[in-house]
Chains A and B, each alone.
Chain A
Amino acid sequence: MSALYENSYYIASVGLIAVGLYVMVVKKNLIKVLIGLSLFETGINLLFIAVGYLAGGTAPIFSTHSLLPGRMVDPVPQAVVLTAIVIGVAVLALALSLTIRLYEHYGTLNLRKVRDLKW
């Protein structure tokens, strides 16, 4: 049980990734697929944060002498995830604007009906 508790962030992030991928594969509506994509990216961000997380840790700033490096949260994953979130937002914004144009052309967001292009 304690192992489950210690790894809860990893379990949650893998769960989010799996749910996101499931939604993307199964749902027909483009908006729902993009929600799945968003969940997928959130899961990855959580995974990255969990790698450097320390329960009860502080920010890595040597403000007082009593702070030890062992009690600090690794800042690199947080900086990385900040970048990843920004990239995710850009992708999502582009995807939603494409969705609007897709609806203008096809009159539907059902991806099973949007298939002019084939192999």
Chain B
Amino acid sequence: MVNPVLLIVTPLGLAFIIPLLASVWTRSAKYIPVVGMLFNLIVSLLLLRHALDKPVVVTIGGFPPPFCINLVAGPLGLMLSLLIALVGFAVSIYALGYIRKGATARYHALYLLLLAGATGAVLTGDLFNLFVFYEILCISSYALVAYLGDRDGIEAAVKYLIQGSVGSGLVLIGIAILYGLFGTLNMADIAQHISSVEPLHLFVPLVFLITGFGVEAAVFPLNAWLPDAHASAPSSISAILSGIAIKVGVYAVARVVFTLFDASGLFLFLVLLGLLTLLVAEMSAFSQSNIKRMLAYSSIGQIGLIVFAFGLASPSGISGGLFQLTSHALAKALLFLAAGYMIYRAGSMEISALEGMGKKMPITCFAFTIGVFSLVGMPPFIGFPSKLLIIKAALAQQSVWFTVLIALALAGTVIETVYFFRVVQALYFKEPTVNGQTQQPTGSVHEAPFSAMAPIYGLLILILLLGIYPNLLTGALDSAATELLERAAYITGVLG
């Protein structure tokens, strides 16, 4: 069996090899993330089979838990690391042709660091270690948002950095209080003794941790940084931030609420918070004229839906939330990647500039449209089974309130459908206009290069395949949901 440590060590090591290699042979730097992510993809797949039987626990330094820093590669962690590797692999191929300007070697090094941080955060079993990996993820994304060095990018990065650092600080306060209460940083150890402390004393660290991780997860009202950062970053980075980085925040919130605190009093709060996030974000997205800002707000909305599903706290609800997490990661990565070259061709991020693009870039626009169909939940794409699972889980609560809440969530999805279809309409059914005059489409068909088409269509095939055969995924998702819900199994799995 492969050691899960390799999943973290390989991207981390390769990230620091890149500057050395680039000083000798500059062109090689961009291929290293591809190799690293392919390796992670294979190792995650190999490990997932073992983890479905029993979580793979790795202790570091030769001490038994809770005295060491340990990695817990359970079904949840490995499923997420598989997703990170998959999206990371696709985006690293895309970046081969897309990233041409600036300090490209540094871009690829930071990109690998970001993915190493994300993988580490989902695999670790130690609270402070989670914070460290989370910070690696955050710091590299601050730098990558500012990669283009333009006016918007720098402003967005400054905003993101200030809000993100306050969030990380709050996480650290929460960890300090927990350490003061329990004298340990091991998550399984804290979870085991959580009931021995008065609930009121637990409330304070819980609030700090959720607020802190909530900044990265972009739950309302902590998401002011996200539309700016996602819209101003290079499109490949937008895809990773939307597909991966905010999911790590959601994972951390879920881990804290379910495994660490078993905070059953908070579930209804999560449901309402998710719904509020969904509705506010979808309404904000509706009024955007910039396509990347629209996609960014739509990401916040989808996060709201995921948090909503987690708040249901039933096996089917969490499994539906994880399904939604996967489907959103694939579809939104596809949308940002396809939009990247559409924007490049149009020379503007305004939706009005994309009118008639369906004739100029038919293959790219087709992929974009499929991504839209999947995101709004149309069969036979992956968005359909994921939303269906969440609706079924909400109705299974057998309560009028949850029926009303899911109806509101569906209303949010309807808004989403409207603004996404407006883009599709602009792509195919509108002629480009200049000063009110309809123009005949000029310019020949000129598609995105192969290095962009390959990942876009790879994601598209996955979206279609998993949409038709959702059973390929549900087995792993169900055991991941069980890992979150059954704390006792997690604790004995780690501490023995």
Q: Which of A78-116 contact B (CB under 8 A)?
A: 80, 83-84, 87, 90-91, 94-95, 98-99, 101-102, 105-106, 114-116
- The size of the chain A interface, using a CB distance under 8 A, is 35
In the bound complex, residues from chain A placing their C-beta under 8 Å from that of B128 are: 80, 83
Partner of B146, one of A52, A91, A98, A117: A98
Produce 1/0 per residue, B170-191, CB < 8 A to A. Answer: 0011011001100101000000
A91 engages B228 (CB within 8 Å): no
- Distance to closest chain A CB from B356 (angstroms): 28
Known contacts A52-B179, A101-B154; 8 further A-B pairs (Cβ under 8 A):
A17-B169, A47-B176, A76-B179, A77-B176, A91-B142, A98-B146, A101-B149, A106-B151
B139 engages A91 (CB within 8 Å): yes
25 contacts between A and B (CB under 8 A): A17-B169, A40-B166, A40-B169, A41-B169, A51-B176, A76-B179, A77-B176, A84-B172, A87-B139, A90-B139, A91-B161, A94-B161, A95-B161, A95-B162, A98-B157, A101-B146, A101-B154, A105-B151, A115-B155, A116-B152, A117-B231, A117-B232, A119-B224, A119-B227, A119-B284
B positions within 8 Å CB-CB of A? 128, 132, 135, 139, 142-143, 146, 149-152, 154-159, 161-162, 165-166, 168-169, 172-173, 175-176, 179-180, 183, 185, 224, 227-228, 231-232, 284
- Bound together, the chains give a CA A67 to CA B165 distance in angstroms of 40
- Bound together, the chains give a CA A95 to CA B169 distance in angstroms of 15
In the bound complex, residues from chain B placing their C-beta under 8 Å from that of A30 are: 158
- Distance to closest chain B CB from A72 (angstroms): 13
With contact pairs A41-B169, A44-B176 given, residues A94 and B149 touching in the complex (Cβ less than 8 Å): no
In the bound complex, residues from chain A placing their C-beta under 8 Å from that of B165 are: 37, 41, 91, 95
- Bound together, the chains give a CA A24 to CA B159 distance in angstroms of 12
B139 engages A95 (CB within 8 Å): no
* A-B interface contact total, Cβ < 8 Å: 95
Partner of A117, one of B156, B168, B175: B156
B169 engages A98 (CB within 8 Å): no
With contact pairs A30-B158, A105-B154, A117-B228 given, residues A44 and B173 touching in the complex (Cβ less than 8 Å): yes
In the bound complex, residues from chain A placing their C-beta under 8 Å from that of B185 are: 76, 80
- Bound together, the chains give a CA A28 to CA B166 distance in angstroms of 17
In the bound complex, residues from chain B placing their C-beta under 8 Å from that of A21 are: 166
- Distance to closest chain B CB from A79 (angstroms): 9
- Distance to closest chain A CB from B293 (angstroms): 9
In the bound complex, residues from chain B placing their C-beta under 8 Å from that of A106 are: 151, 155
B173 engages A117 (CB within 8 Å): no
- Bound together, the chains give a CA A94 to CA B146 distance in angstroms of 10
- Bound together, the chains give a CA A102 to CA B185 distance in angstroms of 39
- Distance to closest chain B CB from A100 (angstroms): 10
Partner of A48, one of B149, B159, B179, B231: B179
- Bound together, the chains give a CA A17 to CA B172 distance in angstroms of 12
In the bound complex, residues from chain B placing their C-beta under 8 Å from that of A74 are: 183
Partner of B154, one of A37, A52, A102: A102
- Bound together, the chains give a CA A52 to CA B181 distance in angstroms of 11
Produce 1/0 per residue, A16-51, CB < 8 A to B. Answer: 010001001000001001000100110010011001
